[in-house]
């Protein structure tokens, strides 16, 4: 007997409707998943096809070049140039190292090479490669090589017409090998021969550290090479034993290096188990969290970290992590903004590739990468605008920004160097007047005052000034160059004729006056001379120590550490300060 629909209970109808609706939703979801899977598979298939297609095209292009090009090609050079151009289009950090560049790679990563332990430079006036700076306790210094020695031959091979790279390659070699080095010493006008034994050179990451007369420590770290964390830890322990009551940790000009060493250095100041940095990339297997692994040296020692626009990568991890943990005050100017991580990939025929695989995130969760490298769909490279940065918070609640580098807690700008110093330093000085003066000064002075105290006298500076005036030294004043560029713009826009009298008057007033500029920039030039002279007697250790006398940013850091109340107030969140 048929049952009337209105005799079905209302609850049963609702239950049935819900079941049907649920089944429909499942179908829709299943269909959507299928569509997504198909689309994803199609997208991957399309990507794979593009990769295969372009590899085929590249292969055929080179085969035709090799077979038909008018000249015989060097495969290593042509393909190497192609690889380098491809990688350079991605970012500056993805780099190919063929087998013959492995020594350079080892030097970069470990700070190690086998050689004599000296900087060399090309002397423009002589047209020769010279010893510029022997390293302390290294073969060059031990056999008696000095700044200014002109390299004539290596094991009998003439070097007088060779460039820096060629001479450097021949000075390096296998550790333990001995060669004959013939040089000319300008100060005595004598040719000299030295037997030099190459050895493994480990460049110190910490050129100088020490407790100053104010009881505060200073530590300069110039690179994050393997083992630098241990160097820093040992230096801090030694300075604490000497009574250090605060530390200026100088990372200015430090372009970075090992991420693990940055973690090791942060570990000196914070407890074991703290998250320092997280790597996140396309592949799950390269993602990693780095935490402090051992007990710290001191979690209460007041620390000021000095940074500038050349502090990058591992320097930014170190300064940024300490800032995010409210463990140190960061001082100086905004850092470079490199928030990318590279991994080393082994390649056939003993090559390697340094490949960008991750972005890193410091404890607050921010990434400080400044440049956005876009590659999909023909995208272009762009700098992250300030308006697009996001606010994060330190452990104590202080606001910090992502993108564009680490903003210092206290901004202190360094004094700008006048343009004449760049020319005198040999960047463009074909007269080599400053270098010649330093070499001559060293020859005339067997000893000088201690590194911390030495300063070129006014009488010596006047002697240097007269030598410059008597030389063929030439330079461009920045004001003169700026006026020249302005004149070009005025001509282009049609204003020059009307303003010509003013331009001519300015040209006369802004015409470089060497004697006047040497007097006006006396302090900066004296510091340049002083640094080069001190390095010749006390090596890099002494040169860094000597700069502390006049370093504006270091003085500001010391002053802050001596003002305990101000130091700690900078590490408190704003809401706490407002109470």
> From CA 156, how far away is CA 177, in angstroms rounded?
15
CA quadruple 264, 265, 269, 274: dihedral sign = negative
Q: Report the DSSP beta bridge partners of residue 478.
A: none
313 is catalytic: yes
Q: Residue 502: how many CA atoms within 13 Å on its side-chain side?
A: 9
Distance of CA 5 to CAs 9, 16, 424, Å?
9, 13, 103
> Phi, psi (5° rounding) for residue 372?
-95, 110
Question: Dihedral (C-alpha) 535, 536, 538, 542: value to the nearest 10 degrees?
Answer: -10
Catalytic-labelled residue, pool 313, 315, 319, 364: 313
Catalytic-labelled residue, pool 146, 334, 338, 354: 338
Q: What is the CA radius of gyration of the chain?
A: 31
> Phi, psi (5° rounding) for residue 199?
-150, 170
> Phi, psi (5° rounding) for residue 25?
-65, -40
Burial (CB count <10 Å: 0-12, 13-18, 19+), residue 153: middle
CB 181 within 8 A of CB 151: yes
Distance of CA 208 to CAs 183, 221, 322, 541, Å?
30, 8, 22, 5
Both structure tokens of 338: 């490199």
Distance of CA 10 to CAs 1, 6, 7, 18, Å?
21, 9, 9, 13
> From CA 503, how far away is CA 491, in angstroms rounded?
11
> From CA 553, how far away is CA 411, in angstroms rounded?
9
Phi-psi region of 200 (alpha: psi -120 to 50; beta: other; left: phi over 0): beta
Catalytic-labelled residue, pool 132, 149, 250, 324: 324
* End-to-end Cα separation, the chain, in angstroms: 83
272 is catalytic: no
CA quadruple 394, 397, 403, 408: dihedral sign = negative
3-state secondary structure of 114: strand
Q: What is the DSSP letter of 272?
A: T
For strand 288-291 and strand 178-185, is the pairing parallel, antiparallel, or unpaired? unpaired
Neighbours of 12 (CB within 10 A): 9
User: Which of the residues are catalytic?
Assistant: 313, 324, 338
């Amino acid at each position: 007997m048929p049952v009337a629909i209105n005799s079905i209970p209302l609850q049963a109808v609702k239950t049935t409707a819900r079941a049907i609706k649920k089944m429909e939703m499942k179908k829709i979801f299943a269909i959507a998943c299928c569509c997504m899977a198909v689309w994803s598979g199609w997208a991957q298939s399309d990507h794979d096809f593009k990769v295969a297609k372009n590899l085929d095209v590249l292969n055929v292009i080179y085969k035709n070049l090799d077979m038909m090009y008018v000249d015989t090609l060097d495969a290593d050079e042509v393909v190497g140039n192609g690889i380098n151009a491809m990688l350079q289009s991605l970012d500056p950090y993805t780099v190919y190292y063929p087998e013959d560049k492995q020594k350079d790679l080892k030097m970069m990563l470990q700070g190690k090479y086998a050689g004599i332990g000296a900087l060399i430079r090309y002397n423009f006036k002589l047209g020769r490669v010279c010893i510029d700076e022997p390293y302390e306790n290294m073969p060059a210094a031990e056999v008696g090589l000095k700044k200014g020695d002109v390299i004539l031959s290596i094991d009998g091979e003439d070097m007088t017409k060779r460039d820096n790279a060629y001479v450097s390659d021949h000075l390096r070699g296998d550790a333990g090998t001995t060669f004959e080095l013939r040089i000319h010493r300008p100060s005595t006008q004598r040719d000299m021969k030295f037997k030099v034994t190459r050895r493994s050179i480990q460049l110190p990451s910490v050129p100088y550290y020490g407790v100053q007369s104010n009881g505060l420590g200073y530590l300069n770290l110039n690179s994050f090479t393997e083992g630098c964390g241990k160097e820093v830890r040992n230096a801090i322990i030694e300075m604490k034993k000497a009574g250090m009551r605060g530390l200026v940790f100088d990372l200015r000009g430090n372009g970075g290096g090992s991420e693990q060493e940055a973690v090791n250095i942060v570990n000196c100041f914070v407890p074991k188990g703290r998250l320092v940095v997280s790597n996140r990339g396309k592949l799950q297997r390269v993602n990693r969290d780095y935490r402090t692994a051992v007990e710290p040296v001191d979690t209460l020692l007041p620390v000021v970290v000095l940074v500038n626009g050349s502090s990058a990568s591992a320097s930014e991890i170190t300064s940024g992590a300490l800032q995010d943990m409210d463990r140190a005050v960061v001082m100086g100017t905004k850092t470079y903004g490199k928030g990318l991580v590279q991994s080393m990939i082994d390649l056939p025929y003993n090559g390697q590739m340094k490949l960008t695989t991750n972005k890193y995130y410091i404890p607050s969760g921010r990434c400080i990468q400044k440049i956005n490298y876009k590659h999909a769909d023909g995208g272009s490279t762009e700098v992250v605008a300030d308006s697009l940065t996001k606010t994060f918070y330190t452990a104590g609640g202080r606001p910090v920004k992502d993108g564009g580098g680490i903003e210092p807690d206290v901004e202190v700008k360094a004094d700008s160097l006048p343009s004449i110093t760049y020319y005198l330093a040999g960047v463009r000085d074909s007269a080599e007047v400053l270098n010649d003066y330093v070499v001559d000064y060293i020859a005339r002075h067997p000893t000088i005052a201690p590194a911390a105290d030495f300063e070129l006298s006014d009488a010596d500076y006047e002697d240097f000034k007269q030598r410059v005036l008597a030389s063929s030294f030439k330079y461009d004043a920045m004001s003169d160059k700026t006026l020249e560029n302005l004149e070009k713009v005025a001509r282009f826009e049609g204003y020059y004729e009307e303003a010509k009298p003013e331009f001519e008057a300015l040209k006369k007033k802004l015409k470089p006056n060497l004697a006047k500029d040497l007097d006006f920039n006396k302090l900066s030039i004296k510091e340049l001379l002083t640094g080069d002279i001190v390095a010749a007697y006390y090596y890099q250790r002494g040169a860094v120590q000597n700069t502390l006398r006049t370093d504006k940013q270091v003085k500001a850091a010391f002053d802050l550490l001596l003002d305990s109340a101000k130091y700690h107030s900078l590490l408190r969140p704003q809401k706490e300060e407002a109470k």
